[in-house]
Structure 1
Amino acid sequence: MTTPIALVTETPAEHPFAQFVRILGKGKRGARSLTREEARQAMGMLLDEKVEEAQLGAFLMLLRHKEESPEELAGFTEALRERLHAPALQVDIDWPTYAGKKRHLPWYLLAAKCLANNGIRIFMHGGGAHTAGRLYTEQLLGLLDIPLCRDWQATGAALDAKGLAFMPLVDWAPQLQRMIDLRNTLGLRSPIHSLARILNPLSASCGLQSIFHPGYQVVHRDASGLLGDRAIVIKGDGGEIEVNPDSPSHLYGTDGGQSWDEEWPMLSAQRHVKPATLEPQHLLAFWRGESQDSYGQMALISTMALALRGLGEDRDSAFAKAQTFWANRSL
């Protein structure tokens, strides 16, 4: 005799996170962006690991398809900052480095070193070497004597000793790193890769951001404005915070919610030839004055000027001070 199968008579309760997936994915007419508060709540659940795997993937890809709004980025950032519990470390520049370089060497690292040697405290953070064929900050820390810090205590000590510290995202926001690492599973970069640039976890005086794709620069500037942060967003070379001397640069700035824009002309009379290979040792030789590089010189001086502009210098004084810093660096 066959035992009858019991019928389910109660409707399963909806998962609390389902509402946020529905908001983003309800079709062309029904879908909308999250409000700032909804974004804060949604990211809070993601960070607290209160979502299902299917929900995480769906949420990230729906956001990617729609493209993030300033309000969403601001809400996501607020959720992270609420949970971070970072110490009160004095930092001048927040320097996210997540893209890697493939056309030119990462001259921005020499710019950061030189600024740090002149009393400007810089916190760098990155998300690992995630794409083949690119050269990442994490791979050059030892060569360039940039401290790798795995906790906040080490970060504070490095800032005091050298004015420069690098801390991997996985050590202060492991949930975000996990989302970034889903790229090879989902087939696309998620919005978290972009979000990491705006977080400014130690409340630095100025956050520098490089956003490569056109249109996103304004979104990031506006999100930083909503947060009341001081920030400058550029389309940096290869997606890193590095001014390309072969092209004009547009600076998208915000200070306490007040937006500003500034155009910097190209520095080179003609475009430089891309090197056949990227040799990291060339950076060290250039720092020591043992080799020359026209592109590198222009890139690092203008990148230093960008940071100084973020700290309140006007363009002319920023470039003059950057030139002086570089000329007087310790070899």
Structure 2
Amino acid sequence: MVKGILDKILNNKHLSEEEAKDLMDNIMDARFTQSQISAILVGLRMKRETPEELTGFVKSMREHAKKIKTRHSIVVDTCGTGGDGLKTFNISTASAFVVAGAGIPVAKHGNRSVSSSSGSADVLERLGFNINLNTQAIEDCLNHIGIAFLFAPLLHPSMKNVALTRRELGIRTFFNILGPLTNPAGVDNQVIGVFDKSIMPTLAEVIKNLNPKHIYLVHGAGGMDELSLEGPNYVIEIRGNKSREFFLDPEQYNFQKVSSSEFVVKNSEESAKRIIKILRGEKSFDKDIVVLNAAIAIMASDYTSDFKEAIMMAKDSIDSKLALSKFETLKTYTNTL
């Protein structure tokens, strides 16, 4: 099989969705050597992956993940692609607690840092959370507390078959952008920060093939893979197989314009300190950017269609200490297991 697939890829021919899924099934099931996987990844990168190919890959990765079951009809994720290189504090992780504090269940998918100063797993460990939970414990957190952290390496065991190859190649592959689409809780309501604006239309086509409830792809002013306070942010909104593009300007919602450099941290310790201050309600630009990003996640939940109301919900979650309560309850529970 692998020779035929490689010949097709190297001759710049595209795979069907079914061929792509079959290919990924074989990779996930360790039926290829590391050299063969390397050739496939490089060939696809040079050819440029199509939405149909990426859709097949996602479907296979979802099938191979450990499943997280939930009693909630709507669950939100704030996991982004990472890779913007700006080394900001963990905005999407802080936003997850704010969304949960607003009464919307959150299954926060995440991993350790690859290119940032602090991955979501790194900062949560620094904050004292136990992130190494089994599926039952994760389900308990999600169902009873309303928020859970889904540590990717524990829930995607088949990804170990490509870990060495990815590390040795040292280049971006499609795996870097597909992580947010493989949440083991099967979330259909998301905000996904994207490091590269140019890949957003392709990613949107993949998402439409998956027929989600409501997803926002965002690329922030200044190159952030979050909504930024630096200027208008590029957004693609997807509902089912329909999408629309627009720009979201924070200044229209009374946020002060702030450079993305304001949010840079050196390590997970600095990020953790900032998150604690935000959840305690201290007024700052950090709080503003978390409110902005939590608001669009609230919009993705379909709790409201009014962005101003979503902003107020995010602010209330922090000011009422409900976000802090979710943080403390989850932290305590994970350390009793």
How has the CA–CA distance of structure 1 residues 235 and 66 changed in structure 2, closer, same or farther, with 3 Å as cutoff?
Answer: farther
Q: Work out whether residues 208 and 241 of structure 2, in 8 Å CA contact, stay in contact via their aligned partners in 1.
A: yes
The residue number in structure 1 matching 2:212 is 229
Percent of aligned pairs with the same amino acid:
20
The aligned counterpart of 1:105 is 89
Q: Which range is displaced more, 232-241 or 90-99?
A: 232-241
Name which of 37, 51, 63 aligns with 1:56. 37
What is the deviation of 1:329?
A: 2.2
Q: Give the structure 2 partner of residue 297 of structure 1.
A: 287
Bigger relative contact order, structure 1 or 2 (CA pairs below 8 A, ≥6 apart) = 2
Alignment partner of 1:328 is 2:311:
no
Offset at residue 202 of structure 1 (A) = 1.8
Q: CA RMSD in A?
A: 2.6
User: Which residue identity is paired with 2:318?
Assistant: W
Higher helix share: 2
Give the aligned partner of residue 252 of structure 1. 236
For the structure 1 residues 62 and 136, does the alpha-carbon distance in structure 2 shift closer, same or farther, using more than 3 Å as the test?
same
Larger Rg: 1
Structure 1 residue aligned with 2:19: 38
> How far apart are residue 156 of structure 1 and its match?
0.5
Aligned twin of 2:262: 274
Partner of 2:121: 138
Answer yes or no: is 1:78 the counterpart of 2:59: yes
Q: 274-283 or 121-130, which moves further after superposition?
A: 274-283
1:263 correspondence with 2:256: no
State the number of aligned residues. Answer: 309
The structural deviation recorded for 1:57 is 0.3
Q: 1:139 to 1:256 in 2, by over 3 A?
A: same
Are the equivalent residues in 2 in contact too, given 1:98–1:193 (CA < 8 A)?
yes
Write the distance in 2 (CA, Å) between the matches of 1:146 and 1:118: 21
The alpha-carbon deviation at position 301 of structure 1 amounts to 0.9
Q: Which stretch has the larger CA shift, 164-173 or 220-229?
A: 164-173
SS at match of 1:212: coil
SS in 2 for 1:135: coil
CA distance in 2, matches of 1:303, 1:173: 27
Contact 2:91 2:290 in 1 (8 A): yes
Give the 3-state SS of the residue equivalent to 1:262 in structure 2. strand
Offset at residue 35 of structure 1 (A): 1.3
**What's the secondary structure of 1:140's corresponding residue?**
helix
* Aligned 8 A contact 1:126 1:137 in 2: yes
Q: Is 1:211 equivalent to 2:211 in the alignment? A: no
Gaps of 5+ in 2: 325-337
TM-superposed deviation, 1:41:
0.8
- Contact (CA 8 Å) 1:229, 1:256: kept in 2 or not? yes
2:311 match? 319
Asked whether the equivalents of residues 6 and 39 of structure 2 are also in contact (C-alpha less than 8 Å), the reply is yes
Cα offset, 1:236, TM superposition: 4.8
TM-score (norm 1): 0.83
Structure 1 residues 176 and 237: alpha-carbon distance in aligned structure 2, compared to 1, 3 A threshold: farther
| CA spacing shift, 1:40–1:208, aligned 2, 3 Å | same
TM-score (norm 2): 0.82
**Cα distance, 1:171 vs structure 2:** 1.3
Question: Contact between 2:229 and 2:260, CA under 8 Å: does it hold in 1?
Answer: no
Partner of residue 157, structure 2: 174
